[in-house]
Homo-oligomer: A and B are copies of this chain.
Amino acid sequence: LPLTLDLDRQRRCGFAEVIYGAGKPAELIAEIMRRQRQAGQDSLATRVTVETAKAVAEIIPEVRYNPDARCLLAGAAANKTPSPLDMSATRLVRHVAVVTAGSTDAPVCEEAIETLHWMGIPFRSFNDIGVAGPDRLLAAVPELRQAAAVIVIAGMEGALPAAVGGHLSVPVFAVPTSVGYGATLGGLTPLMGMLSCCSSNVAVVNIDAGFKAAYLSGLVVKS
């Protein structure tokens, strides 16, 4: 197998190497997960198709697959599904807020949530509150202001991160999605828009990269 695992990454970076599942055969993914388990590391594979996930599960039965997120997990995070932070107790728990502009952005949101779950970072989510219906964001602002970092997921023109950023004093990680057609250019338009964002606190990750925004905001929460 053409493989040189970076098992030292957990020590250097705080978390194990995340497996980029696209284009990898099931045997390769299973082998990586096997070696990570041997090294005492929990595994997260992103962009895994249903077919591949099934094939891995035949080799390593204890994995958990989330088809919406296209994520395959092994170890602690595989044993329970993610659930949002219970806010009734106390609001002092540092956490990430995950925001989507439209309901079609859900898969990217799911990938972000599974990543936070794998990192052990508390989260809340606020869905479908894009700028065309402005009251929705305004209603969420007081709760968003409690988060230590915010992820904003949006396709089409990608206007939401600028609007969210203008209300907050924490880093906003913007995720452009490939939702839309024509002039959205498969997500390049919201990507470029978010990079041009007039709010000062907005950083950007790759198109549909829910994983990356979650990883970064998780690091901020742990900071």
**Residues of A with Cβ closer than 8 Å to B?**
1-6, 8-9, 12-15, 17-18, 20, 22-24, 28, 47, 100-106, 109, 125-136, 138, 148-149, 156-159, 162-163, 165-171, 173, 176, 178-209, 211-213, 215-216, 219-220, 223
Contact = CB atoms under 8 A, between A and B. Distances in A.
B195 A192 contact: no
Contacts of A193: 157-159, 189-190, 192-193
Q: How many copies does the complex hold?
A: 8
- Indicate the member of A104, A159, A165, A176 with the most B CB atoms within 10 Å: A159
B2 A171 contact: no
16 contacts: A2-B103, A12-B169, A18-B200, A23-B104, A28-B103, A131-B166, A132-B166, A148-B223, A157-B162, A157-B196, A159-B159, A176-B182, A181-B206, A183-B192, A189-B196, A203-B203
A208 to B, nearest CB: 6
A199 B198 CA distance: 20
Contact of A203 (B130, B138, B173): B173
Nearest to A18: B200
Nearest to A128: B4
Contact of A134 (B15, B163, B170, B192): B163
